Amino acid sequence: MPRMKFFTPSELKPAGWLRRELEIQAAGLSGNLDKVWPDVRDSRWVGGDREGWERVPYWLDGFIPLAYLLDDADMIGRAKRYIDAIVAGQQEDGWLCPCAESERAGYDMWALYLIDKVLMLYYDCSGDERIPGVVERSLFNLYGHIKEHPIFSWAHSRWFECLIPIFRLYEMKPEEWLLDLGRLLRDQGMKYEEIYSDWKYTVPERKWQWETHVVNQGMAIKEGALSSLLDSGDPEKAEADDSFSEFMLEKLFEYHGNAVGHFNGDECLAGLSPIQGTELCGVTETMYSYEVLYALTGNPVWADRLEKLAFNAFPATITPDMWGHQYDQMTNQAACVRMEKPVFNTNSGESNLYGLEPNYGCCTANFNQGWPKFARSVFLRSADGIAVNAVAPAVLETEIGGVRVRVESDTLYPFGSAVNYIVTAEKPVEFALTLRIPGTAAAAEIDGEQAEPGSLVTLKRTWEGTSAVVLDLGFDVKFVRRPTGLYSLERGPLVYALKIGEDWTKLEYERNGVERKFPYCDWEVRPTTEWQYAFDGLDPAKIEVDEKGEIGDLPFAPENAPLILRVPVRRINWGYETEYRMVARALPLSSMPIGPAETVEFIPYGCTDIRMTEIPVAEIPGNDA
């Protein structure tokens, strides 16, 4: 499929449970960060004296689409205040970042990539005609600056992120100097192809390094595909090459993969252990990479990977009310408490607390791009019509051939198995509606006709009046063997984890001039129910599936989870790691049962706050492992 484009928030709106998630986010930390967090409220980007680098751009990258997707006038006005200040701060020579001229040589230009990307996003949302000129002057200044001061540090390892605003501006002004800038950044930037062709990072190390930083890897998954467009002659007409992206993921999953479709990295790549954890920024940036890759290539595997992260790893590391988040989440997370000696290789013992800025504040600013950008990518504009990326409830209203067209995706997916696409056209118009059949389905039908999971089905027809296309999906429960010998449980796009009772302890305090108080305080979470279990065999037929058919006010809360699996288990002696406070052992002390067979509830991983996800099979006759 040729390249696809993102619709604007004036055309595409979330619906159903997805809209509710955005409303929760707007009422939570993301929607209030400019009121309560000094690094955004008092940033140098808006004339204050706090951080003047990545945090405001990170926050705006999610806050802007959130405001416009919800048509929230107050949030739109607050976003404009920041944009106005940034535009007003641009120097005569095009320099955009908030630093003195004497500081330019030492300023890490990563923040410029981010703010130019944010400005083009703001233009797509608002139509503000000032923005393309601001970005053009900024990029031209960057072109001259890096000839004299080559990129370093984060700008060096994330050079390809600047291709996002470069290519967006090139759509509007196809001038060769923009592509030359992209090639210069590539020449100066980190060579991921060389690093991965001689992959040395199979085992985690207790040291910080650029080459294994987990967020760098999540971003760089799209590097090869973006870079390939620089050599195409015309990036607007070229098909991106995602072969290196696949090669990267193969290595990452083999040596650092986890049960929820991501790779472990507590700051840096951390191996296969279910207690090692992964950074929230890495999850959100990998989601964005998958969105870009699907738009560039039309390869449905990227949408499958996006859904697995969006429905599992992402919501699981944020409190259901979105006032708190973790820096690191663990797939086997029996508790979240402060550790004097951290289990993490390079992060602090507070990294798995839920709170305002556990460990480090980058995730505080950056996590809020997850849901808005996901919502913005549900439908994409294809060369001959409309294409489905992620399956989720949304409404698209756009024009095709001068005719007003409305497409609604009415679904409870991933908590339900039916998707109703309702197409309305003001008058007859021909276009293609390309449906993506999730590769995680065991079976699929479109209007009663079989369809292949993992495929794209294009319905090219003349649409008139209102039509309905029904996609019915079938899901199987399956046990997935992990490299550690443990097993995880999946059904469709959802991974399931043991539901554990929770006791939350509020931590209110002030540190470095930053106040934590309810609702943006920190939290410790301890288990109140048993968590030491093994599967009583690997027979999916013995698992009862309870589909409730409705989604509550907090879609990803453990209470009233929309789907429940009732699973036969046996209690075992798992135990805590002796060196670390309330951290479940990487592997249990024993898989021998110490209790009778019982049935417990497993809920979607994304609905959990503490959890056990990778579990052994009880060592009794007849249980195969």
Q: Yes or no: say if 357 and 326 are a contact pair by the CB < 8 Å rule.
A: no
pLDDT classification of 623: cutoffs 50, 70, 90:
confident
For residue 520, is it within any domain? yes
Give the span between the Cα atoms of 443 and 559, in whole angstroms. Answer: 30
Q: What are the pLDDT digits (tens) for 253-264?
A: 999 999 999 999
Last residue of a domain, one of 424, 447, 474: 474
Q: How do residues 548-577 score in pLDDT, each as one tens digit?
A: 889 999 999 999 899 999 999 999 999 999
Q: How far apart are CA 186 and CA 86, in angstroms?
A: 27
- Of 589, 588, 594, nearest to 571 by C-alpha is 594
Q: What whole-number percentage of the chain has pLDDT above 90?
A: 96
Residue 549, pLDDT score: 85
Tell whether 593 and 502 lie within a shared domain: yes
Establish if 470 belongs to a structural domain: yes
Among 496-500, 539-543, 621-625, the range scoring the smallest mean pLDDT is 621-625
444 and 536 housed in the same domain: no
The reported pLDDT for the residue numbered 621 is 77
Bond prior to 519 in cis (omega within 30° of 0): yes
Q: How many angstroms separate the first and last alpha carbons of the chain?
A: 42
Task: Give the pLDDT confidence score for residue 237 in this predicted structure.
Answer: 80
Using the predicted structure, report yes or no on whether residue 290 has a pLDDT greater than 80. Answer: yes
Domain boundary pick from 427, 458, 474: 474
In the predicted structure, residue 2 carries a pLDDT above the cut 60: no
Average pLDDT over residues 97-118: 97
pLDDT at position 233, please? 78
Residues 402 and 460 in one domain: yes
Q: Please indicate, yes or no, whether residues 504 and 568 belong to a single structural domain of this protein.
A: yes
Q: Is the pLDDT of residue 118 over 70?
A: yes
In a domain, 554, yes or no: yes
Q: What CATH number is associated with residue 446?
A: 2.60.40
When the pLDDT of each residue in the chain is averaged and rounded to a whole number, the result is 96
Answer yes or no: do 448 and 511 share one domain.
Answer: no
Flag whether pLDDT at 1 surpasses 50. Answer: no
Residue-range definition of the domain harbouring residue 549: 477-607
Distance from chain centroid for Cα 271: 20
Backbone angles phi, psi at 167, to 5 degrees: -70, -35
| Contact (Cβ atoms closer than 8 angstroms) between residue 351 and residue 328 | yes
Same domain for 457 and 507, yes or no, is: no
User: Tell me, what's the pLDDT at 625?
Assistant: 62
Residues 6+ apart with CB under 8 A from 271: 203, 204, 255, 256, 264
What the block records as the tokens of 476 is 């199987």
pLDDT of residue 341: 94
Average pLDDT over residues 276-284: 96
Residue 127's contacts (CB-CB under 8 Å, 6 or more residues apart) are none
d(CA 394, CA 379): 8
600 found inside a domain: yes
Q: Is 70 exceeded by the pLDDT of residue 302?
A: yes
Asked, for residue 433, whether it belongs to a domain, the answer is: yes
Alpha-carbon span 602 to 610, nearest angstrom:
12
> How many domains does one find in the chain?
2
What would you report as the CA-atom Rg of the chain, rounded to the nearest whole angstrom?
A: 24
Calculate the CA 17 to chain-centre distance. Answer: 17
Which residue shows structure tokens 């009233």? Answer: 560
Give the CA dihedral 157, 159, 162, 163, nearest 10 degrees: -120
- Do 422 and 488 lie in a common domain? no
Are 491 and 597 in the same domain? yes
Band (265; pLDDT cuts 50, 70, 90): very high
Shared domain check, 600 and 481:
yes
**CA distances, 198 to each of 154, 201, 262 (Å):** 22, 9, 22
Burial 479-499 (b: 16+ CB within 10 A, else e): beebeeebbbbbbbbbbbbbb
In a domain, 291, yes or no: no
Q: Does residue 570 fall inside a structural domain? A: yes
423 shares its domain with 485: no
- 332 within some domain: no
Sort strands 403-411 and 449-451 into parallel, antiparallel or unpaired: unpaired
Cis-peptide, bond into residue 414, ω within 30° of zero: yes
As a whole number, mean pLDDT of residues 71-76 equals 98
Same domain assignment for residues 468 and 481: no
Mean pLDDT value of segment 169-176: 96
Residue 399: closest CA among 385, 420, 378:
385
Residues 491 and 438 occupy one common structural domain: no
Boundary residue ending a domain (426, 441, 474)? 474
Residue 362 has pLDDT above 60, yes or no: yes
Question: How far does Cα 158 stand from its chain's mean position?
Answer: 17
Task: Compute the average pLDDT of residues 144-158.
Answer: 98
